[in-house]
Chain A
Amino acid sequence: MPQLLKDNRVIEDSWTYLAEDAQSLPDGDLLLSYAQWQIFSDQIEAHRGNVGVVIEGNAEIEDIIEPLLKLPLIAINFPKFADGRGFSVASLLRDRYNYCGEIRAVGGFIRDQLYLLSRCGFNAFKFIEDIDLSEASKSLEDFSETYQVSADQENPLFRRR
């Protein structure tokens, strides 16, 4: 089974993407695009397994997020690593919508972004390429102190100094 980094550990990834041309939901933990989620919304209740949704960084999440918040997993796609919109989307999910499920980075992000991603609320990282995950996980520890408020830090440094 493919692997990913979650909560700072390398684990098996039980989730699979729903095929683009799927007519129904096969059993198991499924990742749907937002469009697929809309199509299959009436079958999700009866589905055997979990369902999660992949959203894009440019999503106007204010308009779509409400029904997604009860899902156990929301994945945010990075079309390329330099596209930083996903950082804001994850921050909003955690801070404004108090989402407590898994926020998974998928797509073109890179190892050297892990620390900042995790500060914005991502707790799972699925790399496109097959890389040494336990080696990569070192980048989660790049810094031990930080100035700002963020998903993982309730108080800015000036309130803790």
Chain B
Amino acid sequence: MYKYDNYDHKIVNERVEQFRDQTQRYLAGEIADEEFLPLRLQNGLYLQRLAPMLRIAVPYGMLSSAQVRKLAHISRVYDKGYVHFTTRQNIQLNWPALEEVPDILSELAEVEMHAIQTSGNCIRNTTTDQFAGVARDEIEDPRPWCELIRQWSTLHPEFAFLPRKFKIAVCGSEEDRAAFLLHDIGLQLVKNDAGELGFEVFVGGGLGRTPIIGSSIRKFLPKQHLLSYLDAILRVYNRFGNRDNKYKARIKILVKAWTPEVFAERVEAEWEHIKDGPSTLTDTEFARVKSFFPLPQYQTIDGADSAKQLATTASDNIAFSRWLDRNTQLQKQAGYRSVTLSLKPAGVAPGDVTDKQLETIADLADRYSFGELRATHNQNVVLTDVVESDLFELWQQAKQSGLATPTIGTINDMICCPGGDYCSLANAKSIPVAEAIQRKFSDLDYVYDLGDLELNISGCMNACGHHHIGHIGILGVDKKGKEWYQIQLGGSANKNAALGKVLGPSLSRDEITDGIEKLLDVYVENRIADESFLNTYQRIGIEKFKERVYASTT
């Protein structure tokens, strides 16, 4: 994992002091509300319906066990003893007191964490694949690139007051696990014919009110030019993005208005001037940053042997075998697996964890995964590099702490925004809907039979719960003061990213779980062999689903 040197420490500490001073001046009435607003947002602080909310950056999802213990401590001392993992691999505290935020930030700085640019109209935390470094289909580890982008974007003087927020994602593998086509900039690591490393650059993707899939503006950007090219894109956007209407201010709207071709020309023209300048990355810097992401000291394990032993253990224990199936993943390295700890037990808001659970997670990471872990955009936690012979023990310990719900990638592993219970912008509640669905589909055999299924819920069209890219998406809408839910089908966030289609009129809260059940029935009746829900939908279209759901509601 990246380790701060004196420079990084200094910058983060000075940011804490800057914010401490700003908070004091605000509390003393010297800074007006509307001026304090972007200052606090640039440091992740919202003032919400019930209390402030502090969003802490987890750069590209990587956490050390020491950081997780610190988060547990902070949640106990300054909050109500739990934190929330977000869909952007960040962590939120829901109840901090404004006056204490500077102290929280300085505690975070001790473990090389911060809340810089986790909100506001600036460049946000860069995200990537939770299996970076260990994925079997990896072209190149994206994390050193994410770290380079983190440093470049941190307190970038020119881009702190953009038209709108700005999100960058990096994908280093064949499969996309970072939803990079749905970001303002999506970077795909590629190799050219000469075997040199570079990026295909996509711009203008995003969810929210106007969901759009990103467009490729450059097929191959040699790696050393990454930062100057990003500067060029951001400069064009900063100067020409819409600033009159916040719903038209994301870069996706500019790219659409100009067309991706024209946008690309403007970027290239700008880049001509700064290309080959001092921002050109050096081999020394590549080597320095890369050295922070070494492969752990793997033992040589006989893969076949290890697999056999694991199969024997699993055959005696159905619960373990289910968990093994759904919650663990093979790695490049024989005899090792990545484990997903589920933060989605029924009855808890997806992504919420207690201070005790955080400490357990830290212990597990120390014991089984070299003291490191990753937050995922599906709001779970991943431990990589676990020796297969440790899995049974790990499972038992995770289970005791409620972290082993064996439903990863199924309908019960849903993404869900905080919705009407917490968020002032909501049209409808989302957490109770998630709970109702988890309760309705609690029969694990049925859930497994359904297989891979992404169900995403947002409480309003701002789309924090990514409903557009769920195989099944649920969107809260407000009709005459009542909560209704629109269903969308066929969304997906992988390389063939697609946005969901609206099924038909919205359903009431009472109808929603039955509606979902009917969708699943149509799938089960129509699937061929082990076809997934999404594939069946893509093959048979929306009509059959529609007929069934609306047939009996009249």
Partners in one complex: yes
Partner-B contacts on A (CB < 8 A): 57-58, 81-85, 87-89, 91, 95-96, 110, 112-113, 115-117, 119-120, 142-150, 154-159, 161
Specify the chain A residue showing the minimal Cβ separation from B228: A149
Return chain A residues, CB-CB under 8 Å to B238.
84-85, 87-88
Q: Which residues of A contact B276 (CB under 8 A)?
A: none
Q: Is the CB of A120 within 8 A of B157?
A: yes
Bound CA–CA A145/B14 (angstroms): 9
Contact (Cβ within 8 A) B162 A84: yes
Decide if B18 touches A143 in the complex (CB within 8 Å): yes
Contact partners of A96 in chain B: CB under 8 A: 273
Extra contacts, 18 of them, besides A81-B161, A82-B161, A87-B238 (Cβ < 8 A), are A58-B239, A81-B35, A83-B161, A87-B157, A87-B161, A89-B239, A91-B158, A95-B274, A110-B35, A120-B157, A146-B11, A146-B155, A148-B156, A149-B277, A149-B279, A150-B158, A156-B278, A158-B288
Closest to B286 in A: A158
Nearest-neighbour CB distance to chain B for A110, whole angstroms, equals: 5
Q: Is the CB of B158 within 8 A of A88?
A: yes
The chain B residue with its CB closest to the CB of A85 is: B239
Chain B 277-321 interface residues, beta-carbon cutoff 8 Å to A: 277-279, 281-282, 284-285, 288
Whether the pair A142, B162 counts as a contact (CB closer than 8 A) is no
- Measured in the bound complex, the distance between the Cα atoms of B152 and A146 in whole Å is 9
Closest 3 CB pairs of A and B: A84-B161, A119-B157, A158-B285
Interface size on B, residues (CB 8 A): 39
- Provide the residues of chain B in CB contact with A161, threshold 8 Å: 5, 7, 288
Bound-complex Cα distance A154 to B278 (A): 7
A148 and B157 in contact, given A82-B38, A156-B278 (Cβ under 8 angstroms) = yes
Residues of A within 8 A of B227 (CB): 156
With contact pairs A96-B273, A159-B278, A161-B5 given, residues A145 and B160 touching in the complex (Cβ less than 8 Å): no
Contact B18 A88 (CB under 8 A): no
B residues 247-292 in Cβ contact with A at 8 Å = 273-274, 277-279, 281-282, 284-285, 288
CB of B278 within 8 A of CB of A144, answer no
The answer for the CA separation of A17 and B29 in the assembled complex, in Å, is 32
List the B side residues contacting A116 at CB < 8 Å: 155, 157-158, 160
In-complex Cβ contact of B160 among A84, A146, A147 (8 A): A84
Q: What are 15 of the A-B contact pairs (CB < 8 Å)? A: A81-B35, A83-B161, A83-B243, A87-B160, A88-B158, A113-B161, A116-B155, A117-B157, A143-B15, A146-B155, A147-B11, A147-B154, A156-B278, A158-B281, A161-B7
> Distance in Å from the Cβ of A136 to the closest Cβ of chain B?
11
Nearest CB of chain A from residue B3's CB, rounded to whole Å? 13
- Contact status B121-A148, CB under 8 Å: no
Residues of chain B within 8 A (CB-CB) of A57 are: 239
Which residues of A lie under 8 Å from residue B162 when comparing CB positions? 84
Report how far A57 CA is from B18 CA in the complex, Å: 27
Complex-state Cα separation, A28 to B167, whole angstroms? 48
Task: From A81, A84, A110, A145, give the contact of B159 (CB < 8 A).
Answer: A84
Tell me the residues in window 440-467 of chain B with beta carbons closer than 8 Å to chain A beta carbons. Answer: none
A95–B273 Cα distance when bound, in Å, is 10
Residues of B within 8 A of A82 (CB): 38, 121, 161
CB distance from A147 to the nearest CB of B (A): 5
Nearest A residue to B36 via CB reads A112
The residue in A85, A119, A144, A158 that gathers the most chain B C-beta atoms within 10 A of its C-beta is: A158
- Tell me the bound Cα distance from A147 to B15 in angstroms: 13
Question: Which residues in A have their C-beta under 8 angstroms from that of B278?
Answer: 149, 154-156, 159
A156→B279 contact, CB < 8 A? yes
Give the CA-CA distance A82 to B31 in the complex, in Å. 15
A157 vs chain B, min Cβ distance (A): 6
Residue in chain B with minimal CB distance to A84: B161
**Is B151 interfacial (CB 8 A cutoff)?**
yes
Contacts A82-B38, A84-B162, A142-B14 given; does A159 touch B273 at CB 8 Å: no
| Max chain B Cβ within 10 angstroms of own Cβ: one of A57, A58, A95, A156 | A156
Most buried by B among A58, A82, A146: A82
With A119-B157, A120-B157, A158-B282 already in contact, the answer to whether A112 and B35 are too (CB < 8 A) is yes
